[in-house]
């Protein structure tokens, strides 16, 4: 059977290659990306859109739902909240298994065990133990599915590449040795490999017998599938912007691998969106924005606020007032993200510095104001002989990054706010 690869348009209805085939939905390296920020369009991804696609797929024979590690960046309290949110969403969507990645381990064993306790999705890794050799998570999950009218046992295993550095308290053993007892288990075998494609290719040559191997640390967008012997290697990109979809026959042959882009047109799942909104409420209730680290300003420097500039720079203020910069916090409030420390720094003045915008305080520093580009200018307000820095491309680059502003071109955007 010919292996096919297709990139499906956002919103496409996914149809297995043959009636009765097993559908496997996979992705990996979410990195805590729960939703597009909405700063520009089009933007892909988000757990609520994922839920809408999975709901559509689940109308037939229940698909197998898999995630391949690095749920978050493991960078502080907000990522703990994200990990719990993802666990809740995966439970609501009916996920079967999550293969662990090195970033997940940075959350610590105790936290991961708490995550396992709150979701029905099994955390699995066959070559992970503590330093005493005690197994911490299941090696695999065993699932029953009807494929082509025949009841089959599907075994999903997971391993990490040894090159992925395990944090203190964990030990990662040789993945090939860990997989040998699993390479003939069940009727159909699927492997979540948290490692690079070249390591995946080497591993499948050592341990054949898997129908589908999903690897990580690949490109940001879905990679073309590769077949080595009877095993198909696939990667759905990063940040949950695409879902990979493989169809398998009753014998375990992978008939097709495709991807669906999680664009706006796929819609949203209201139940999963409610879970995401609950996360935003927790971020706000824990006051994470005001708790974010702030660096001191140079001696004597302070913020004045945009209104302080208006008297002397009326024309520039008028241009600013008609721009999207003047409504930047409003877009966050509409999205319910105006207290999110990952979003607010690009929508208000000086969030990363002492004396800058605080959660709901210092309204004169709300929105993208004059000092977002020109720096703290209180001394200039008092003494016009002290000139603030001029703006330029370097002022724009911290916020207008490809992930949030993919169409940004300095010359084009500057022409809209020239002053």
pLDDT tens digit sequence for 56-73: 998 877 999 999 999 999
How far is Cα 248 from Cα 348, in angstroms, rounded to an integer? 50
Q: Which of 280, 375, 410 is nearest to 365 (CA)?
A: 375
Chain centroid to Cα 47, Å, comes to 9
In order of 36, 53, 406, the CA distances from 41 in angstroms are: 9, 20, 9
The whole-number pLDDT of residue 16 equals 43
The whole-number pLDDT of residue 32 equals 96
User: In the structure encoding, which two tokens stand for residue 19, read together?
Assistant: 């009636």
How far is Cα 21 from Cα 16, in angstroms, rounded to an integer? 6
Sheet holding 242-248, edge to edge: 4-8, 254-261, 242-248, 22-27, 64-68, 97-99, 122-124
All residue ranges of the chain with pLDDT < 70 are: 1-19, 164
How many residues are given for the chain? 419
Q: Which CATH number fits domain 4-278: 3.60.21.10, 3.30.565.10, 1.10.10.10, 3.40.140.10?
A: 3.60.21.10
Which run of H or E residues covers position 345?
none
Q: Are strands 22-27 and 242-248 parallel, antiparallel or unpaired?
A: antiparallel
Half-sphere exposure of 71 (CA within 13 A, CB side): 28
* DSSP class of 336: T
For 83-99, how does the pLDDT look when each residue is reduced to its tens digit (9 = 90+)? 999 999 999 999 999 99
Residue pair 3/232 in contact (Cβ under 8 Å)? The answer is yes
Phi, psi (degrees; rounded to nearest 5) at 370: -55, -40
Q: Are strands 170-172 and 128-130 parallel, antiparallel or unpaired?
A: antiparallel
- CA angle, corner 192, sides to 190 and 197, nearest 5? 110
| β-bridge mates for residue 377, sequence order | none
Q: Which of 276, 274, 281, 242 is nearest to 260 (CA)?
A: 242
The whole-number pLDDT of residue 17 equals 53
What residue ranges do the domains of the chain occupy?
Answer: 4-278, 297-417
Q: Which of 66, 28, 33 is nearest to 164 (CA)?
A: 28
How far is Cα 68 from Cα 90, in angstroms, rounded to an integer? 13
Whether cis (ω within 30° of 0) applies to the bond prior to 42 is yes
The whole-number pLDDT of residue 18 equals 65
Predicted TM-score (pTM) of this structure: 0.91
Q: Which of 88, 98, 89, 33 is nearest to 65 (CA)?
A: 98
The whole-number pLDDT of residue 15 equals 42
Write the Ramachandran bin of 185: left for phi over 0, alpha for psi from -120 to 50, otherwise beta: beta
The whole-number pLDDT of residue 76 equals 94
User: For the chain, what percent of residues have pLDDT higher than 70?
Assistant: 95
Residue pair 87/119 in contact (Cβ under 8 Å)? The answer is yes
For 325-375, how does the pLDDT look when each residue is reduced to its tens digit (9 = 90+)? 999 998 888 888 999 999 999 999 999 999 999 877 788 899 999 999 999
Q: Which of 244, 189, 181 is nearest to 211 (CA)?
A: 189
Q: Are strands 140-147 and 128-130 parallel, antiparallel or unpaired?
A: unpaired
The whole-number pLDDT of residue 164 equals 67
Residue pair 332/338 in contact (Cβ under 8 Å)? The answer is yes
Residue pair 53/93 in contact (Cβ under 8 Å)? The answer is no
Q: Which CATH number fits domain 297-417: 3.40.50.300, 3.30.70.270, 1.10.3720.10, 1.10.1130.10?
A: 1.10.1130.10
Write the Ramachandran bin of 262: left for phi over 0, alpha for psi from -120 to 50, otherwise beta: beta
- CA angle, corner 336, sides to 334 and 341, nearest 5? 120
Q: Are strands 140-147 and 150-160 parallel, antiparallel or unpaired?
A: antiparallel
Strand, coil or helix: 46: coil
Neighbour count for residue 149 (Cβ, 10 Å): 8
């Amino acid at each position: 059977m010919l292996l096919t690869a297709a990139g499906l348009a956002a919103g496409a209805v996914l149809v297995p290659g043959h009636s009765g085939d097993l559908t496997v939905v996979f992705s990996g390296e979410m990195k805590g990306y729960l939703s597009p920020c909405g700063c520009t369009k089009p933007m892909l991804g988000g757990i609520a859109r994922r839920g809408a696609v999975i709901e559509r797929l689940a109308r037939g024979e229940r698909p197998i739902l898999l995630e391949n590690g690095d749920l978050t960046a493991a960078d502080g309290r907000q990522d703990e909240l994200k990990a719990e949110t993802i666990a809740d969403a995966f439970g609501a969507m009916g996920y079967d298994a999550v293969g662990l990645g090195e970033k997940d381990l940075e959350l610590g064993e105790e936290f991961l065990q708490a995550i396992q306790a709150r979701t029905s999705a099994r955390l699995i890794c066959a070559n992970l133990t503590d330093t005493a050799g005690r197994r911490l998570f299941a090696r695999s999950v065993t699932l029953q599915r009807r494929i082509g009218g025949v009841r089959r046992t599907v075994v999903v295993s997971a391993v990490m590449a040894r090159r992925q550095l395990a944090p203190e308290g964990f030990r990662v053993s040789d993945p090939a040795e860990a997989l040998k007892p699993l390479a003939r288990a069940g009727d159909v075998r699927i492997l979540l490999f948290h490692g690079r494609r070249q390591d995946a290719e080497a591993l499948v040559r050592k341990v054949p017998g898997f129908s589908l191997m999903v690897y990580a640390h690949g490109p940001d967008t879905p990679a073309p599938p590769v077949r080595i012997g009877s095993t198909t290697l696939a990667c759905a990109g990063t940040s949950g912007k695409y879902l990979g979809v493989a169809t398998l026959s009753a014998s375990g042959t992978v008939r097709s691998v495709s991807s669906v882009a999680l664009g706006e047109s796929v819609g949203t799942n209201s139940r999963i969106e409610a879970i995401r909104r609950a996360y935003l409420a927790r971020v706000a209730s824990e006051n994470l924005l005001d708790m974010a680290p702030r660096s001191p300003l140079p001696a004597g420097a302070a913020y004045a606020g945009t209104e302080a500039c208006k008297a002397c720079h009326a024309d520039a203020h008028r241009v600013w007032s008609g721009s999207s910069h003047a409504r930047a916090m409003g877009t966050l409030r509409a999205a319910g993200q105006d207290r999110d420390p990952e979003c607010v720094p690009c929508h208000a003045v000086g969030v990363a510095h002492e004396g800058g915008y605080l959660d709901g305080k210092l309204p004169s520093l709300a929105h993208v104001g004059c000092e977002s580009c020109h720096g703290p200018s209180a001394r200039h307000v008092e003494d016009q002989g002290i000139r603030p820095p001029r703006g330029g491309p370097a002022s724009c680059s911290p916020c207008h990054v490809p992930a949030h502003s993919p169409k940004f071109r300095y010359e084009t955007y500057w022409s809209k706010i020239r002053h």
